[in-house]
Amino acid sequence: EQVNIQRLLSDLLPIVQQHADQKEVHLTTEVEGNTMIEGDSSRLKQVFMNLLTNAINYTKVDGNVSLIFKDKDDRILVSVSDNGVGIPQEEVSRIFERFYRVDKARSRNSGGTGLGLAIVKHIVEAHHGNVHVDSVVDEGTTFHVEIPKQFTQS
């Protein structure tokens, strides 16, 4: 299935914007380049939804969340950044595990299950891509997703 990432993001945006408004977080998106890739649109939608939901949830009032899309040669690069609470270095390696949540007491308030990032990783890898994270406690977090445009190439 050919997926237009730009279209997919504009489908998501109203819902994500509403969440950002509710939490009083500023949301910006920047999309440039060729946004067509081969993949599963509903699953890819889930990837960006989960990352943006986290970025908004783990960022304080008046914080900033941004999504940047670029294409580079045979791949797309999408980063989702926030200037929120950040993730302690010793926990970063575990956040993609099912049910893993940093600081259970804090996270409990937001009512999640700890599955969002496990799903992200699973879907991105099923598209032969990869996801990694840069984070500094109290400064913020960026998730980088890289996915090949053609499903058949590695």
Q: Which residues bind ligand ATP (CB under 6 A)?
A: 50, 54-55, 58, 82, 84-87, 95, 100-102, 107, 112-118, 141
- For residue 140, state whether it binds Mg ion (rule: CB under 5 A): no
Q: In terms of residues, how long is the chain?
A: 154
Nearer to ligand ATP, 134 or 146 (CB): 134
- In whole angstroms, the minimum distance from the beta carbon of 120 to ligand ATP comes to 7
Name which of ligand ATP, Mg ion, none residue 151 binds, using a CB cut-off of 5 to 8 Å depending on partner kind. none
DSSP state of 33: S
Site string for Mg ion, 37-66 (x = CB under 5 A): -----------------x------------
Task: Give the angle 91-84-50 at the CA atoms, nearest 5°.
Answer: 75
3-11, 32-40, 84-92, 109-117 -> range binding Mg ion (CB under 5 A): 109-117
Beta carbons within 8 Å of 126's beta carbon, 6+ residues apart: 40, 43
Q: Determine the Cα–Cα distance for residues 61 and 49; give it in Å rounded to an integer.
A: 20
The residue type of 98 is: R
By a kind-dependent CB cut-off of 5 to 8 A, residue 48 interacts, out of ligand ATP, Mg ion, none, with: none
User: Quick one: 109 or 152, whose CB is closer to ligand ATP?
Assistant: 109
Q: How far is the CB of 151 from ligand ATP (least distance, A)?
A: 25
One DSSP character per residue, 92-151 reads HTTTTSTT--SSHHHHHTTT--S-HHHHHHHHHHHTT-EEEEEEETTTEEEEEEEEESST
Query: What is the contact surface with Mg ion in residues (CB under 5 A)?
Result: 54, 112, 116
